[in-house]
Amino acid sequence: MLDLKFLRKEYQQVATMLKNRCSEIDIASFISLDEERRKALAHIEELKAKKNIVSQTIAQRKRESMPTEELFVQAEELGVQIASLEGEVKTLVQSVEDFVSMLPNMLHSSVPIGKDESENIVERVIGSPREFSFSPKAHWELSCRDGHFDFEKASKLAGSRFSVLWGQFAKLERAIGQFCLDIQIEHHKHIEIAPPFIVNRTTLFGTGQLPKFEDDLFRIEESEYYLIPTAEVPLTNLYANELIEEKNLPLQYVALTPCFRSEAGSYGKDTKGLIRQHQFMKVEMVHFAHPESSYEQLDKMVSFTEYLLSLLELPYRVVSLCSGDTGFSAAKTYDIEVWIPSQNAYREISSCSNCEDFQARRANIRYVSQNGKKQFVHTLNGSGLPLGRTLVALLENYQEEDGSIRIPRVLQSYMGTDLLRA
């Protein structure tokens, strides 16, 4: 959430940010609402001052045994006007808060200006796509002796955009999750968390999913609970309404959880396979950082994801998202995209974002500096990695002409084999 003082003082900067994000929100609405609220508050203070004078006059007249009936009527009328205005102010304050809650984060100065993903900037490309001597199959076409995908049974059980993994495919997905956790914990010093998979509205507000993105969430009927869209939500809110000691920063957490997304607005996109599912597993990193070093943490988080992909020997590239493609809560985002042979394209496998103090303001997460001053921390989040999309990349990049699938060296100990046979 943006600071109200900043909004009032730098509303032109906010207007520019909204334009660069291709947002239709008009900051003039905030200025109008806020001005109306401030005028109403000033009027209330004037009326209270008048009522105070009337009350003093009543007290004086009583001491002098003079009539006070007319003054009592004035006092009652002023009280009614004050109560009515206070009701209006309460409504205006709520309107201002609602408006501000829908404003996206300010963009870091290094974010390239652009309207959509076509104007993202490729920072670096690592590895070369494999040259196949045969036409590679899409992942949903692949199967082996002891494993395959089953979308028909998933449709019977739950509907579209779900999957059932059988045998070795299920084991390979589990191996990916354990491998990613092990690296993030043992090599990159994250603390593992096992959070709830169901959270309340306040928690979702804290990270920016509510109120703007309610249609993207799965809500439990007749309750205020939702299934998590990512572990970022519970992990970031671990310190909601709490103070962190400055000496403990940065804090690095990781979790492997299911993620649930309605995929509202994505109908017709990636309808086949595992790329865009209602339910998937993901290893998520969340960091709490000092404002002076949060961009160092962002670079570190990106490097953590790159390290995983390098160990898996998958070709990938790092992309800096432009203003029109940067997420609501993020000040700056890097996408890491992995090569998918069947699509002859790079596809997103991880996003790493610095939200600066945007989420910390919404969730009231602060740190206490050594001089005792309380300030908002910076929060960061990144995928490291989603199991389904990583499985897709492995199956497609490691497939052989006879239908067998090689296992990357770093996963062989988890799988107990170096090959899934056709």
pLDDT in tens, 138-183: 999 999 998 999 999 999 999 999 999 999 999 999 999 999 999 9
Closest by CA to 328, choosing from 96, 102, 10, is 102
How far, in whole angstroms, is CA 348 from its chain's centroid?
16
Does residue 132 sit in the same domain as residue 223?
yes
Is residue 33 situated within a structural domain? Answer: yes
Domain count of the chain?
Answer: 2
Does residue 199 sit in the same domain as residue 91?
no
- Is 293 tagged catalytic? no
Is residue 106 situated within a structural domain? Answer: no
Catalytic residue among 163, 323, 351, 353: 351
Does residue 283 sit in the same domain as residue 361?
yes
- Is 276 tagged catalytic? yes
Closest by CA to 285, choosing from 183, 414, 360, is 183
Does residue 18 sit in helix, strand or coil? helix
Q: For the chain, 422 residues long, give each residue's pLDDT as a single digit of tens.
A: 999 999 999 999 999 999 999 999 999 988 899 999 989 999 999 999 999 999 999 899 888 888 888 888 998 999 999 999 999 999 999 999 999 999 999 999 999 999 999 999 999 999 999 999 999 999 999 999 989 999 999 999 999 999 999 999 999 999 999 999 999 999 999 999 999 999 999 999 999 999 999 999 999 999 999 999 999 999 999 999 999 999 999 999 999 999 999 986 666 677 789 999 999 999 999 999 999 999 999 999 999 999 999 999 999 999 999 999 999 999 999 999 999 999 999 999 999 999 999 999 999 999 999 888 999 999 999 999 999 999 999 999 999 999 999 999 999 999 999 999 99
- Is 130 tagged catalytic? no
Closest by CA to 140, choosing from 278, 268, 273, 270, is 273
Does residue 413 sit in helix, strand or coil? helix
DSSP 295: H
- Check if the beta carbon of residue 383 is closer than 8 Å to that of residue 180: no
Report the CATH number that the domain containing residue 45 is assigned in CATH. Answer: 1.10.287.40
The tokens of 145 are what? 């002796």
Question: What's the confidence (pLDDT) of residue 272?
Answer: 87
| Strand-pair partners of 245 | 368
Beta-sheet pairing, 365-368 with 374-376: antiparallel
Residue 147 host element (H or E): strand 147-150
Question: What's the confidence (pLDDT) of residue 67?
Answer: 85
DSSP assignment of 181-230: HHIIIIIT-PEE----SEEEHHHHHHHT-TTTTGGGS-BPTTSSEEE-S-
- Check if the beta carbon of residue 224 is closer than 8 Å to that of residue 199: no
Distance in angstroms (rounded) separating the CA atoms of residues 11 and 159? 46
- Check if the beta carbon of residue 196 is closer than 8 Å to that of residue 238: no
Backbone angles phi, psi at 389, to 5 degrees: -70, -35
Distance in angstroms (rounded) separating the CA atoms of residues 239 and 368? 13
Q: Domain of 34? A: 4-101
> Last residue of a domain, which of 68, 101, 134?
101
Report the CATH number that the domain containing residue 294 is assigned in CATH. Answer: 3.30.930.10
Does residue 96 sit in the same domain as residue 122?
no
Catalytic residue among 161, 261, 361, 362: 261
Does residue 124 sit in the same domain as residue 195?
yes
Is residue 112 situated within a structural domain? Answer: no
Does residue 279 sit in the same domain as residue 340?
yes
The tokens of 224 are what? 């205020």
Does residue 188 sit in the same domain as residue 77?
no
Is residue 236 situated within a structural domain? Answer: yes
Q: For 246-362, where are the E strands, in sequence order?
A: 251-260, 279-289, 316-320, 332-340, 345-354
- Check if the beta carbon of residue 305 is closer than 8 Å to that of residue 352: yes
- Is 261 tagged catalytic? yes
- Check if the beta carbon of residue 45 is closer than 8 Å to that of residue 89: no
Does residue 190 sit in the same domain as residue 42?
no
> Last residue of a domain, which of 66, 101, 136?
101
Angle of helix 11-20 relative to helix 27-63, nearest 10 degrees, comes to 150
Does residue 155 sit in the same domain as residue 238?
yes
Does residue 121 sit in the same domain as residue 90?
no
Catalytic residue among 348, 400, 404, 406: 348
Catalytic residue among 8, 130, 219, 276: 276
Catalytic residue among 37, 161, 366, 389: 389
Question: What's the confidence (pLDDT) of residue 174?
Answer: 98
- Is 8 tagged catalytic? no
Question: What's the confidence (pLDDT) of residue 149?
Answer: 94
The tokens of 321 are what? 């998202």
Does residue 271 sit in the same domain as residue 192?
yes
Does residue 137 sit in the same domain as residue 92?
no
Is residue 214 situated within a structural domain? Answer: yes
The tokens of 342 are what? 């069947």
DSSP assignment of 47-105: HHHHHHHHHHHHHHHHHTT---HHHHHHHHHHHHHHHHHHHHHHHHHHHHHHHHHTPPP
Is residue 152 situated within a structural domain? Answer: yes
